Homo-oligomer: A and B are copies of this chain.
């Protein structure tokens, strides 16, 4: 592949975690050339001082996020605060592939948007979870992609096969432990290292977290009829990773083998989903830095529930890896280009 065949890519929000992770992945992607890097308050600064791990880009200076700096690229990744993507996207040509790592275009239901995010609903774009029923073909034709939230990605992938196969009642409970980078580079007291280290803390309990309607929307695609989801996130003292435990009441007698077969059928051909061997349970460190999803499922007969656990890196498969995966699909590249299933451990 020679220079002229590379896709030109711009990244808005290059000083944040989503933007930084997109860049980390793009630096290893053979099909792209990294164009404009933009930021809000950090415009004018060297990337090296903000993202010191991105050595090959250390001397790049951030430009302001604008139509001028983002225009003229084949692909634009948006890593912006929610509410900021619509205006930028509207100004970019229809033939530009715009991949939004934010929430603005994830929900199809305007009422859910208004309830959980407030303000007017900007609409919805093709949803960047290729492993979910029917999304892959929509993504292949897309020039706009809404990258899923990190919790919805891991929660959906943990329980969707069981819901889709009718093994469980559509009454799903998810409790997910997340590393702090999921909250972004936000200067909030509870995200300080001195507060967060040695600490597991609950937040967004009781159905109020914004990712709740997105999980419901996803499971609605694999189930006819209402789905109810109780979602509880917590912060645990690590930078990256989400471990989600999802469970639901059994709809009928289900054996371990049957449950496993449903998951195997759903995931055996997925390049990034790794159904672990029986008896081995997911851990986040096995997927850190990778686009892999590790999944395991079991039946708790005494409790009458199916229990599934999934692990992802919230910044990779949960954000930037999914973004690159969707870019690959939309550009007609091999879906796995520039991505890996190999985590960084220990």
B296 and A200 contact, CB distance less than 8 A? no
Chain B neighbourhood of A48, CB < 8 A: 276-277, 280
Q: Interface size of A by Cβ–Cβ distance < 8 Å?
A: 98
Binds B, one of A3-11, A238-246, A326-334: A238-246
Q: In the complex, which residue of chain B has the Cβ closest to the Cβ of A301?
A: B207
Copies per complex of this chain: 4
Interface positions, chain A 223-266, Cβ under 8 Å from B, are: 228-232, 234, 236-243, 245, 247, 249
Q: In the complex, which residue of chain B has the Cβ closest to the Cβ of A300?
A: B207
> With A51-B345, A52-B345, A277-B48 known to touch, is A285 a contact of B199 (CB < 8 Å)?
yes
> With A230-B305, A236-B236, A240-B346 known to touch, is A193 a contact of B206 (CB < 8 Å)?
no
| A188 interface contact, C-beta 8 A | yes
| A189 interface contact, C-beta 8 A | yes
Select one of B193, B249, B281, B342 contacting A192, CB under 8 A: B193
Binds B, one of A74-82, A92-100, A124-132, A286-294: A286-294
Binds B, one of A20-28, A83-91, A145-153: A20-28
Select one of B187, B194, B281, B305 contacting A202, CB under 8 A: B281
| A185 interface contact, C-beta 8 A | yes
| A283 interface contact, C-beta 8 A | yes
Chain B neighbourhood of A296, CB < 8 A: 202, 205
CB distance from A268 to the nearest CB of B (A): 13
Chain B neighbourhood of A299, CB < 8 A: 206
Task: A54 to B274: give the CA distance in the assembly, Å.
Answer: 11
Q: In the complex, which residue of chain B has the Cβ closest to the Cβ of A173?
A: B173
Extra pairs beyond A187-B187, A195-B239, A198-B238 (12, CB < 8 Å): A24-B344, A28-B342, A48-B277, A55-B290, A177-B177, A196-B197, A197-B238, A198-B240, A200-B236, A202-B243, A202-B283, A205-B245
